[in-house]
Structure 1
């Protein structure tokens, strides 16, 4: 637990420091990553240490006495707040990468790029609304049982209200999960289409294009005054309509990606081309790795939380239930540490800067 806490705190501090220090990283993409790193930093700095104390001590009464009950509520509120902000941050990064791939030319002027501060504010405000008001309303004090030892009367546990558990699980996990899956599928399809377009040299479009009357009249006048065959070629790139006037014989490209039989040598070149990832494909692999890590860490916890808290489907032995719940909780916490590895392994800029600082530290130490 100590190693995991230390790695989470130091790693996310390094990510935040690098993004603040390097001016080349002052873009919306890295601002979203820094926001996620800050949420993970809160998890490692506040949530993990107290959770480890509770597990090791096996008794919260000495830490949160009746006079300090509000600290227990505050800690649980911060736990839900930081974890939700981390999950929503992953979702925001997915949407940002989707816009980059779908509309790369319009991205610098898009809402998610220029209004990144509004997106981040929305993420943190939503996380605060999900956590703090509900904790203050329901509280964490559990009902007192008869013939219960005094040290166990005031357990610092999560609110056990079924409606709150369902609301928290849906808002913090399941809704962002469905949104991330949808966005990732869109990213994959867009990246695949762009790769086929780059390989073939042209792009199929399936958008309806409306031409104004003035453009149509101008075209007809030019067509009637010309002795040569004139043909209008309409294409659309990133939602920008381009009108081209081709004089003479216009031949449609004979290559059809959908039906072309690819020879063996070309098939090998195409395989090599697919293996050489472009920036679009790197963004796709980044989102896939992030979402895979996210599912692996958080899905077991929220699945068991809903089963046990809302539908009372749980292990019969209370001790076994507590052990399983703690294991799944810390599996979710580990996502805040694994995100660091995802950043460095999928971002060439962060990886380069990390190596620079690492070698600089080693040289200075010698």
Structure 2
């Protein structure tokens, strides 16, 4: 009697194909159809997972780029408006800061936005001519930013290292000339070489004509050396040397200040001793061979040599502000170098060794660009965190924008300084100011500010 069961072939044996008794279709055919059906069901699931992954990555990239762009625009706009609203911030150094903020804001508007569109869509959407325009704007405003930082470093160098020459050399006319040169110089490497086609090879130019939906910035070796030197290497070298001189001079002045304060306090402690002799201004030496001397007149008429009068106190406070401003601008410079150094190293190395020998993934190139763009977002945050005057001005401007609908007048930063000093120097005033002067200041402040302290 014929069996209705299907025989399964054993390994190593060659048996005839089994068939189902109802249809006569071979079993292997049915198994194949089942496998194809399961594969067809699994394939859409894999494709949908890949699609969702791509969508998620695109959303995350778009959110990060959008945050950087919006923060850069609003932050730098806040710097400009705050300086315009507060008279105390309208100093020579802040002219460069406002111009730098304007350049960074234009980087966000005219460079970051186009780059974001390429990263999110995967192709260039604006044609051949707009590709040259985007590359020119990118080079122009990035170069303008670092040239502004170079001007700021020179301004701080004269203010701290050569303070006597500063008022004569850093006049409004000098600042205006420096700003004009800062805005005109980047055009030499931005507009003319790019629109004339001198920045790249003939092969890449032909490739761009054949593929208008791509906008890669590939340069020849000559342009890479000239543009990177003018945009980054030369200005950064100047900044490194100027800030090194600034920090060295600031440390020297601070040590000198503490030394004179300590000597004054020591002499005041023994002021009734016969060592002081004449009290009419005779010079008293306070150490063998020391070039720093004090007069008995200075010792007897104040608790500290440098703080015996309100005028000297204001000079010390001004010096401290200059040093703190130099440190803040040094942090800005360091942030710029950390943001742009990876890009310019990649830019110069790949241009010199050739695309064939030094090719990089598109994701790495995009990361280099956006780390550099991040600098335009960080500058206003550095001002707000490290500079108290800017922090107070930002707070007042934001209150005007969101709370009072611009009916709030600009805050008096000078008054805020007086309030800050009454709190900040409370523990140190006993060793710096005379008791009489302190009582006078406290009475004046209490009458001015009342319960607000």
Normalized against structure 1, the TM-score is what? 0.72
Asked if 1:35 is matched to 2:99, the reply is: yes
For residues 98-177 of structure 1, the aligned pairs below 5 Å read: 98-111=157-170, 114-138=173-197, 152=211, 155-177=214-236
Q: 1:339 aligns with which of 344, 357, 379?
A: 379
1:327 matched to 2:367? The reply is: yes
Mapped to 2, the partners of 1:187 and 1:167 lie a distance apart of: 29
Give, in angstroms, the shift of residue 323 of structure 1: 1.4
User: 1:288 — aligned with what?
Assistant: 330
Change (3 A) 1:33 1:153: closer
State whether residues 165 and 309 of structure 1, in contact with CA within 8 Å, keep that contact through their aligned partners in structure 2.
yes
Give the unaligned 5+ runs of structure 2. Answer: 1-64, 262-279, 292-318, 406-453
Give how far 1:325 is off. Answer: 1.0
* Alignment CA distance shift 1:45-1:255 (3 Å): farther
Alignment pair present for 1:82 and 2:141: yes
Q: Secondary structure at the match of 2:186?
A: helix
Q: 1:354 to 1:111 in 2, by over 3 A?
A: closer
Q: 1:256 to 1:55 in 2, by over 3 A?
A: farther
Question: Which residue is 2:24 aligned to?
Answer: none
How far the C-alpha of 1:284 sits from its partner, in A, is 3.1
Within 5 Å, give how 1:1-366 maps onto structure 2: 1-60=65-124, 62-64=125-127, 69-111=128-170, 114-138=173-197, 152=211, 155-201=214-260, 252-254=285-287, 278-312=320-354, 320-361=360-401, 363-364=403-404
- The 1:254–1:86 alpha-carbon spacing in structure 2 relative to 1, beyond 3 Å, is same
Deviations 1:157-176 (CA, angstroms, capped at 9, x unpaired): 22421110111111100111
**Structure 1 residues 252, 15: CA separation in 2 closer, same or farther (over 3 Å shift)?**
same
- Residue 250 of structure 1 deviates from its aligned partner by 5.6
What SS is found at the alignment partner of 1:115? helix
1-structure distance, mates of 2:101, 2:259:
40
Deviation at 1:149, TM superposition (A): 12
> Which is greater in Rg?
2
Q: Which runs of 5+ in 1 are unaligned?
A: 203-246, 259-276
SS of 2:185 mapped into structure 1: helix
In 1, distance between residues paired with 2:394 and 2:87?
A: 15
CA contact (8 A) 2:224 2:347 kept: yes
| Distance in 2, Cα, partners of 1:256 & 1:4 | 57
Taking a change above 3 Å as real, the CA distance of residues 248 and 364 of structure 1, as seen in their structure-2 partners, is closer
Provide the secondary structure at the position in 1 that maps to 2:223: helix
Structure 1: distance between partners of 2:379 and 2:229 = 22
CA displacement, residues 108-127 of structure 1 (integer Å, 9 cap, x when unaligned): 33236552111101111111
User: What do you get for the CA RMSD once the two structures are aligned?
Assistant: 2.9
CA contact (8 A) 1:200 1:257 kept: no
TM-score, normalising length from structure 2? 0.59
| Greater RCO structure (CA 8 Å; 6+ sep) | 1
Distance 1:122 1:162 in 2: 26
- Residue 49 of structure 1: how far off its partner (Å): 0.4
The structure 1 segments of at least 4 consecutive aligned residues displaced by more than 4 Å after TM superposition are 139-145, 148-151, 247-251, 255-258, 313-316
The Cα offsets for residues 164-212 of structure 1, whole Å up to 9 and x where unpaired, read as: 011111110011111111011000111011112212229xxxxxxxxxx
